[in-house]
Chains A and B, each alone.
Chain A
Amino acid sequence: MIAAFLQRFGIGGETPAARTSPATPPQEFDAVLLWSGLGLLMFGLVMVYSASIAMAEGSRFTGYQANYFLIRHSLFLAIGLVCGAAAFQIPLRIWQQIAPYLFILGVFLLVLVIMPMIGRSVNGAQRWLPLGPINLQPSELMKLFAVLYAADYTNRKLADMGSFKKGFGPMAMVMLLVGFLLLKEPDFGAFVVIVSIAIGILFLGGINVRVFGTLVLVLLIGFVILIWTSPYRRERIFGFMDPWQDAFGKGYQLSHALIAFGRGEWLGVGLGASVEKLFYLPEAHTDFLLAVIAEELGFVGVCVVVLLFALLIQRCFAIGKTALGLGRIYSALVAQGIGIWIGVQSFINMGVNMGLLPTKGLTLPLMSFGGSGIVANCIALAILLRVDWENRQLMRGNRA
C-alpha cells in the first residue's frame, strides 16, 4: 500500500513488475518538479519563521507575537495548496479560453489598486487591495495572468510572429498599459518580471530576431530613461554600485545583506542564529530572505536554494518540450512561461541579495512571506503539473 503510494509520488523504488511490463502507465506526476516546488515552499516556511521571529516579537504591529508571520505564512501556504489543487483540476484548454478574461481582470485590479481611496499604501508604494483581514496584491496575480495571456496571444498569432505590426505591436500596446499601471504604484520589480514574461514568451513563439533585437534595444533605452527620471529608482541603483560608499544611508540594506552572506561562510552560523535579522536587515522575511538563509545555513544553504530553482526551471522547459512534441503549443508556452517567470524573479531577487543587481522590491518566489505571491506561485506549480499530467495522459493514448 505505502510503497504504491510512494511510487505514485515518485519516491519509492519501482516494483519489479513496473520494470518488466511495458504496459505499466508512466508516473502521473513529474516527481522532480513536485518535490523541488514543495521543497522550496517548506524551506521557505522555515526560513520565514526564522527570519521574522525577532522582528515579530519586538514589534507593536504584530502584537509582540513571535509566531505572527509563521501563522500567516502557514495559512497562505494552506490557501495556496487548496487553490493549487483546484487549479490542477482545470484543463489547459479551459485556461486558454479564460486567459484573456483573467488578464482583463488583472488589469482591472491594477487600476483599482492605484485608486487613492481603495489601494493600501505601505512605505510609499500603493500595492495592496484590502479584502477584509487579507490584503490582495494584484501585481502578483498579474504575473500568472501575464503568462496565461501571453501564451494564448502567441499561440493565436503564431503566423504573424514575423511581423512587427501584427505580431509584436498589439502585445506592446498591452504591455505599455500594464507597465504604466505597475509603475504608478510603483512596483518596478513586478514590471520587470511581467515584461520579461511577455517578451520571453513572444521570443519562444518565434518573434522575428530583428524585431526582437530592436525591442530589447528600445526596452534598454526605456529602462535607462525610467531610472534617470526618478530619483527614487536612481538612488536604488547607486546604492547597489557601492554599498560601502554610503553604508548607513542608501547602501544600508544591501551592506547588511552582504554582511549576512559573509558571516555565513560555508556552513552558516546555524539555523536561528542570524544576527542580521535582529533588526539590522530590513525586510529579512520578504525581499531579503536569502540573506538570512546565507547567514544561517551558509554557502551550502544558498546552493540548495539555487539548485532547487534551477531544477524547477529545467522541469518547466522539459515539460514544455514534451508538450510541444505532442503539438500542444499553448501548454508548452505556459510551462516555459512559468519557467521564465520563476527564473527571472528568483534570479533578480537573489541577485539583489548578493549585490549583483540594483535593489528592487521583489520577493523570492515560493519562499518569501507574502500571501498573494505564495498563492499565485502555488497555482502556477499546479498548472505546470497539469500540463505534465495531460502530457502523460496523451502519451498513454487518452484524451487530455
Chain B
Amino acid sequence: MKFSKSPVLKDELAPWRARLVLVLLLGCMAALIGRSLYLQAFNNEFLISKGESRYERTLEVPATRGRIMDRNGDVMAISTPVKSVWAIPEDARLQPAETRKLAQLLDMDVRELNRKLAEDKGFVFVKRQIPPELAERVMAMKLPGIHLQNEYRRYYPAGEVPAHVLGFTGVNDAGQEGIELAFNQQLAGQAGSRRVIKDRRGNIVEDVEHIKKPVEGKDVLLSLDAKIQYLAYSSLRKAVTDHRAKAGAAVVLDAKTGEILALANLPTYNPNNRTHLAGGQLRNRVFTDTFEPGSTMKPFTAALALEKGKVRFDTQIQTAPGKLSIGPATISDAHPHGVLTVAQVIQKSSNIGSAKMALSMEAADMWQMFDALGFGTPLKLGFPGEASGRLRPAKTWKPIEQATMSYGHGMSVTLIQLAHAYMVFAREGDLVPLLLTRANGPVSSDKNVFSAQTAREVRAMLEMAVLPGGTAPQAQIPGYRVGGKTGTAHKIEGGVYAKKYIASFVGFAPVSDPRLIVAVMIDEPSAGKYYGGQVAGPVFAQVMAGALRTLGVPHDAPLKPVQLGAEDQQVRESM
C-alpha cells in the first residue's frame, strides 16, 4: 500500500514533511551564519584591502609656493588661495534660471556653461581660480552637482613691469618662464600627502592618516630693485612709444657685484591675466634676441689694441678720405674725419679707425677677447631660450670680416651679453658673473680681460663719447660723469641689410668709480630718428640718473644742466 494512499492522510498531513522543510530552512539560515562568519572574521582582511583600493585615496597636500621678492623685500610674486568651481555633470541638472544666474556670477556664456554641464564625464571644471568671495556666492546658490576645490593662484603685484624676469606658473603651479622656472625647485617646495576615504562622488568622508607633511616652498630674494625696474620699464615704454618702435629692452647691472638690478622688455604682458597672449609679448628679448651690436663693439677693439701695445691713447690714425678698400670691399664713415686719435675714433665712432686698429692685430687675439667677454656663449642664468649670439671661429675670418667685426658687424650678441661685457670698463678690466639673486656685498674676480690701465683709458674715451662732440650727448646726466657708447645697426632680413635699424646704447656711471651699467636697445624705431644716441641715449640717461639717485650714489660732477652742443655740431656715428 502506497504511503500517499494511507487513510491517515485523509485528515492529517505527514509530520515528517513539515519537519523536513523546517530543518532545510533552518539549515539554510545556519549556512548564512557560517558564510557571514567566514566573510567577516576570516576573509575580512582581503575584503578590507579591496575596499581600501576602491575608496581610500592618497591626496597630495600642496606646499605653498614661496614668494619672490625684490632686493628690498618687496613682494613681486605671491600665491593666494583661490577656488575652482567643478561639477559632476550627471548631478548638475540645473533649471534654466539657475544656469543663467550661475553663468552671470562666473562671467561665462550661458551656452558655454550648458556645454560643460552636458559633458559625458564624471568631473568637469566649470571655472578655475576665482576669488573666494565669489566662490561663496556660487555655493550660496546650493546647486546640485556643483563643487569647489582649493587652489593657489600666483599673483604678481607689479603686473607687466617685471613680467619677463619673474615669468609665471601654469595652472598646476609649476614655473613655466623666468625666475618661476629657473628657481622652480626652491619655490615649489615638496607636496605632502595624506590618506582619506572618499565617497563615490569624490567627497572626502574621513581622514585616515597623514603620510607626509608638505615642505613649504622657500622665498627667493632677487637682485632686482623694484623701483629701478619700474624706472627702466617706464622710460623704455616711453621711448618705444615715441619712436614707434617694434620692441625694446633695457637692463641695469650693478658693476660692483654683477647683480641684475632691472630688466625690462617691450612688448610685455600682464602675468595676472594671460589670456590672448602672443608669442612676441612673452619674449625676454634681453636674453633671447640677438642683434648686430654695431659701434658698441669699438671700445673693445680699442682696448685690445691698447692692451697689445699696438696703439696708445693718443696714437694718431688717418681716417681720410672716409673710405677704405679691403680686397674687393669698401668700408666707410658717415662723415669723413681726417686724422683722429684713438680716443677720438671712439668719440666720433669711426669705422675706418676701428678697422685699421683691428687689421694691426691677430684674428685669434680678437676672437679670444670676444670669447673672454662672453660673446658667442649663453650666460646660463637659467632663463629659457638664452641665446648665445654668433661669433665665428677666428680661422674662418677674412680680413674684411676682421675689419667689420671691429665695429660690431658680422657678429651678433644679446643685450645682456653686451651689458655684461661692458663690465670690464666699469671695473678694472675684470668680469664677474651676473646674479639674479641678491649678493651680500661687492664681488671680486680674477678673470681679467684687460689690465686696469687699459680699462681706465677706455673709460676716459667713453666719457668723451657722451660729451658734446661725441655721438651721444643725450646720454649725459647732471651731477654725474657718464661714459658710454652708441650703436646703430641695420637689421638683417633674409641675409641682407634692410632699411630697418636697431639703436642701442651701453654705458656706466659715475665714471670716477663706476657703480651701474645700463644697456638699452630699441628695435626698429620708425618715427624718423634711428641713431643710438638719439633714440637709446635719452633712455639711458633717464634710467641711469634715477637709479643712481635711488641707490644714493654720490655725485662726481657739478649739478648743472647738460650741454648737448649745437644740432649741426653733433656727430653721427658710422654704421
For A302, the chain B residues whose CB sits under 8 A away are 32-33, 36, 40
How far is the CB of B501 from the nearest CB of chain A, in Å?
67
**Contact between B4 and A262, CB atoms less than 8 A apart:** no
**A327: CB under 8 A from chain B?**
yes
Is B565 part of the contact surface with A, judged by Cβ < 8 Å? no
Q: How far is the CA of A210 from the CA of B28 in the complex (A)?
A: 24
Task: Assess whether B12 is interfacial by the CB under 8 Å rule.
Answer: yes
- Evaluate contact between A275 and B51: CB separation under 8 angstroms: yes
- Which residues of chain B are within 8 angstroms of A324 by Cβ–Cβ distance? 12-13, 15, 18
Q: Which residues of A contact B48 (CB under 8 A)?
A: 259, 262-263
A33 contacts the other chain (CB 8 A):
no
Task: Kindly identify, within residues 239 to 290 of chain B, every residue whose CB is under 8 Å from any CB belonging to chain A.
Answer: none
Measured in the bound complex, the distance between the Cα atoms of B36 and A26 in whole Å is 38
B527 in contact (CB, < 8 A)? no
B496 at the interface (CB under 8 A from A): no
Say yes or no: is A228 at the interface (Cβ < 8 Å to chain B).
Answer: no
| Binary per-residue interface labels of chain A (306-325) against chain B in the complex, 1 for a CB within 8 Å, 0 otherwise | 11011001100100110010
- Among A6-14, A135-143, A347-355, the stretch in contact with B: A347-355
Residues from chain B with Cβ under 8 Å of A205 in the complex:
13
- A162 with B4: in contact, given A60-B93, A321-B18 (CB under 8 Å)? yes
Best-surrounded residue of B9, B29, B144 (most CB of chain A within 10 A): B29
Q: In whole angstroms, what is the CA distance A352 to B5 when docked?
A: 40
Knowing A275-B197, A279-B199, A332-B13, the reply to whether A347 touches B29 (Cβ < 8 A) is yes
A92: interface (CB < 8 Å): no
- Determine which residue in A207, A275, A320, A329 has the highest number of CB atoms from chain B within 10 A of its CB, and name it: A275
Stretch at the interface among B19-27, B412-420, B430-438, B544-552: B19-27
Contact with A along B41-54 (1 / 0, CB 8 A): 10111111011001
B125 interface contact, C-beta 8 A: no
The answer to whether A159 and B14 touch across the interface, beta carbons within 8 angstroms, is no
Contact B5–A162 (Cβ < 8 Å): yes
Query: What residues on B are CB-neighbors of A332 within 8 Å?
Result: 13
Interface status of A208 (Cβ within 8 A of chain B): yes
Q: Is the CB of B29 within 8 A of A206?
A: no
- Which residue from B15, B25, B50, B205 sits with its C-beta under 8 Å from A347? B25
Choose one: A276, A294, A336; the contact of B36 (CB below 8 Å): A294
Assess whether B364 is interfacial by the CB under 8 Å rule.
no
Report A358 CB to chain B, min CB distance, Å: 15
Expressed in whole angstroms, the minimum distance between the Cβ of A247 and any Cβ of chain B is: 8
B282 vs chain A, min Cβ distance (A): 44
Shortest Cβ distance from residue B147 to the other chain A in the assembled complex, whole angstroms:
12
A187 within 8 A of partner (CB): no
- Does B10 have its Cβ within 8 Å of any Cβ on chain A? yes
Report chain A residues within 8 Å CB of B39. Answer: 258, 261-262, 294, 354-355
Contacts of B25 in A (CB 8 A): 313, 339-340, 343-344, 347
Interchain CA distance A164-B39 in the complex, whole Å: 44
Asked if B2 is at the interface of the complex by the 8 Å CB criterion, the answer is: yes
How many A-B Cβ pairs are below 8 Å? 165
Q: Does any Cβ of A come within 8 Å of B313's Cβ?
A: no
Within 277-302 of A, Cβ neighbours of B (below 8 Å) are at 278-280, 294, 298-299, 302
Chain A, residues 234-268, CB within 8 Å of chain B (1/0): the string is 00000000001001000000011011011111100
Interface check B133, CB cutoff 8 A: no
**Bound form: Cα–Cα A320–B17 in Å:** 12
- Give the residue name and chain of the A residue nearest to B26 (CB): A310
Interface residue A200 (Cβ < 8 Å from any Cβ of B): yes
CB atoms of B36 and A208 under 8 A apart: no
Contact A299 B201 (CB under 8 A): no
Q: Would you call A313 and B2 a contact (CB within 8 A)?
A: no
Answer whether A303 and B33 are a contact pair too, CB < 8 Å, given A161-B9, A204-B13, A354-B39.
yes
A101 adjacent to chain B (CB < 8 Å): no
Give the interface size class of chain B.
35 or more
Q: Who on chain B is nearest to A333 by CB?
A: B13
| Cβ contacts B193-205/A at 8 Å (1 or 0 each) | 0000101110001
A66 and B19 CA atoms in complex are apart in Å by 45
Which among B29, B40, B50 is the interface contact of A310 at CB below 8 angstroms? B29
User: What residue in chain B is nearest A161 (Cβ atoms)?
Assistant: B4
Task: Please give, as numbers and ranges, the residues of chain A lying within 8 Å of B2 by CB-CB distance.
Answer: 162, 208
Contact among B32, B200, B201 with A350 in the assembled complex (CB-CB below 8 Å): B32
- Interface residues as binary, A196-223 with B (CB distance below 8 Å gives 1, 0 otherwise): 0000100111111100000000000000
Q: Does A108 contact B (CB under 8 A)?
A: no
Bound-state CA distance A398–B3 (Å) is 34
**Residues of B contacting A: mostly:** helix
Collect the chain A residues with CB atoms within 8 Å of residue B45's CB.
262
Contact between chains at A60 and B91 (CB < 8 Å): yes
Given the interface pairs A259-B54, A313-B25, the reply to whether A204 lies near B36 with Cβ below 8 Å is: no
Q: Which of B193-222 contact A (CB under 8 A)?
A: 197, 199-201, 205-206
Q: Are A317 and B54 interface neighbours, CB within 8 A?
A: no
Residue A171 is within 8 A (CB to CB) of chain B in the complex: no
Q: Would you call A261 and B199 a contact (CB within 8 A)?
A: no
The answer to whether A343 and B55 have CB atoms under 8 Å apart is no
- The answer to whether A356 touches B17 (Cβ under 8 A) is no
Known: A263-B51, A279-B201, A343-B28. A317 touches B22 (CB 8 A): yes
- Residue with the highest number of chain A CB atoms closer than 10 Å, among B9, B13, B19: B13
Supposing A266-B40, A294-B36, A314-B26 touch, asked if A258 and B47 sit within 8 A by C-beta, the answer is yes
Q: Is residue B11 contacting chain A, with contact meaning CB distance below 8 A? A: yes
Known A-B contacts A262-B44, A306-B33; the reply to A206 vs B199 at CB < 8 A is no
Query: B381 at the A/B interface (Cβ < 8 Å)?
Result: no
Q: Is B447 an interface residue (CB 8 A)?
A: no
Indicate with 1 or 0, residue by residue over B34-71, a CB within 8 angstroms of chain A CB atoms. Answer: 01110111011111101100110000000000000000
Whose C-beta in chain A lies nearest to the C-beta of B40?
A: A299
Q: Which residues of B contact A42 (CB under 8 A)?
A: none
> Given A162-B2, A317-B22, A343-B25, is A64 in contact with B51 using a C-beta cutoff of 8 Å?
no
Asked if B141 is an interface residue, CB under 8 A from chain A, the answer is: no
Residues A265 and B29 in contact, CB atoms below 8 Å apart = no
Nearest CB of chain A from residue B265's CB, rounded to whole Å? 52
Q: Are B201 and A58 in contact (CB under 8 A)?
A: yes
In the complex, which of the residues B3, B10, B25 has the most CB atoms of chain A within 10 Å of its own CB atom? B25
Q: Are A259 and B50 in contact (CB under 8 A)?
A: yes
**Closest chain A residue, CB of each to CB of B24:** A343
Interface check B339, CB cutoff 8 A: no
A105 within 8 A of B: no
Closest to A58 in B: B201
Q: Bound complex: CA of A58 vs CA of B32, how far in Å?
A: 33
Instruction: Determine if B199 and A203 form an interchain contact, defined as CB atoms under 8 angstroms apart.
Output: no
Q: Are A321 and B40 touching (Cβ within 8 A)?
A: no
4 shortest interchain CB distances as A-B pairs? A262-B47, A162-B4, A278-B199, A279-B200
- Some 21 contacts from A to B, beta carbons below 8 A apart, are A159-B10, A162-B4, A204-B21, A255-B50, A256-B54, A258-B39, A259-B47, A265-B40, A278-B205, A280-B55, A280-B199, A294-B36, A299-B36, A307-B29, A314-B22, A314-B26, A321-B18, A324-B12, A329-B12, A336-B21, A356-B31
Q: Beyond A244-B50, A299-B40, A324-B18, list 18 extra A-B contacts (CB 8 Å).
A: A158-B9, A162-B2, A204-B18, A206-B4, A256-B54, A259-B48, A262-B47, A265-B41, A278-B201, A279-B199, A298-B40, A303-B36, A313-B25, A321-B18, A333-B13, A351-B35, A355-B39, A356-B35
Question: Which residues of A come within 8 Å of B, CB atoms?
Answer: 54, 58, 60, 64, 158-159, 161-162, 200, 203-209, 244, 247, 255-256, 258-259, 261-266, 275-276, 278-280, 294, 298-299, 302-303, 306-307, 309-310, 313-314, 317, 320-321, 324, 327, 329, 332-333, 336, 339-340, 343-344, 347, 350-351, 354-356
Interface residue ranges, B against A (CB under 8 Å): 2-5, 9-15, 17-19, 21-22, 25-26, 28-29, 31-33, 35-37, 39-41, 43-48, 50-51, 54-55, 91, 93, 144, 197, 199-201, 205-206
